[in-house]
Amino acid sequence: MAFWTYILRCADGSYYTGHTDNLEQRIAQHHAGEIPACYTAPRRPLELVRAEEFPTREEALAAEQQIKGWSRAKKEALIAGDWERLILARSSRTDSVHGSTGSPRTEPGRSARAGSAGSPRTTPDRLASSDAGAVSDAAADPTHDEHWMRHALALADRAQHEDDEIPVGAVLVSAGGEVLGEGWNRNITDRDPTAHAEIVAMRQAGARLGNHRLLGSTLYVTLEPCAMCAMAMVHARIARVVYAAADPKTGAAGSVFDLLADARHNHRVAVQGGVLAEGAGRRLSNYFRTKRGKPPL
């Protein structure tokens, strides 16, 4: 059985977010006004502007709650599929009272959310920072990709210096600018073929959030992801990946495979490469030169 999180645009321009296990029937009920107590009934006609499928009700509900905590601008960025704008949008707060945070009470099993219409601060938002002010300003800084890539490069240095591993580092950052997980290559140390920096960071984030979906997040990694990591990012519904150095041998973000942008996935990850690529490439070259007994460049 599949579950859906959906967004309706109402006639008054507001948005309504809900979840269901029967999308077609539920949307027909909204259109017909057959859910009388629902926020949408007096706001028809309605337009379905987004629907995303999840394997479990818990995940669909978590996505619904997350979106409900978002500002109108951020919801519109999500609907438009504009990941850049989604990342930069403020996570919630003042303008969401004009948005879709009406409080439908018609769905059994829907978790109670006190004061949802007027109190966006009470909305659980797994990915937004609890301290939106400072971090959102940082996220709005156009140089923040470089800021986070420097963070990932520092993690790559730790891979080499602490574990003598190939220097690749990764940090996963929420839409609100909060670090959700970080890691570096630990294949040899952990005797784990899957322990690439990206996987380590995503595992940490999943454990921290209590959710294997990492919606709206951006992953910064110092080397273009391989096919394994790229698919894990698709499964995790990561919004965007920024990498430094390209990997002409196994890169799956366009160099060898192009898995993140493949139109056959039901989720696509926005990709940007080449951020601080020189520093990342130098670390990798020097690591392998040292292994071959050559001096670093």
Neighbouring CB atoms inside 10 A of 262's CB total: 13
CB nearer to Zn ion: give 117 or 227: 227
**Distance of closest approach, residue 210 Cβ to Zn ion, in angstroms:** 24
- Of residues 125 and 247, the one with the C-beta less far from Zn ion: 247
Cβ–Cβ under 8 Å, residues 167 and 131: no
Cβ proximity to Zn ion: between 226 and 275 the closer is: 226
Under the rule (CB under 5 A), what is the footprint of Zn ion? 196, 226, 229
The amino acid present at 222, given as its one-letter code, is T
Buried b / exposed e over 77-108, threshold 16 CB at 10 Å, is: bbeeeebeebbbbbbbbeebeebbbbbbeeee
What are the backbone angles phi and psi of residue 82, rounded to the nearest 5°?
-95, 90
Contacts of 89-94 with CB under 8 Å at 24 or more apart are 89/175, 90/132, 90/136, 91/125, 91/127, 91/128, 91/129, 91/132, 91/136, 91/175, 91/176, 92/120, 92/121, 92/123, 92/125, 92/128, 92/132, 93/120, 93/121, 93/132, 94/120
CB 225 → Zn ion: shortest distance, Å?
Answer: 5
Q: Which of 52, 76, 178, 198 is catalytic?
A: 198
Considering beta carbons, is residue 127 or 197 the nearer one to Zn ion? 197
The bridge status of strand 179-184 relative to strand 169-173 is antiparallel
Rounded to a whole number of angstroms, the minimum distance from the CB of residue 229 to Zn ion is: 3
The minimum distance between CB 243 and Zn ion, in angstroms, equals 11
> At closest approach, how far in Å is the CB of 250 from Zn ion?
8
Task: Name the residue nearer to Zn ion (CB basis): 180 or 226.
Answer: 226
Q: Is 198 a catalytic residue?
A: yes
Which residues are tagged catalytic? 198
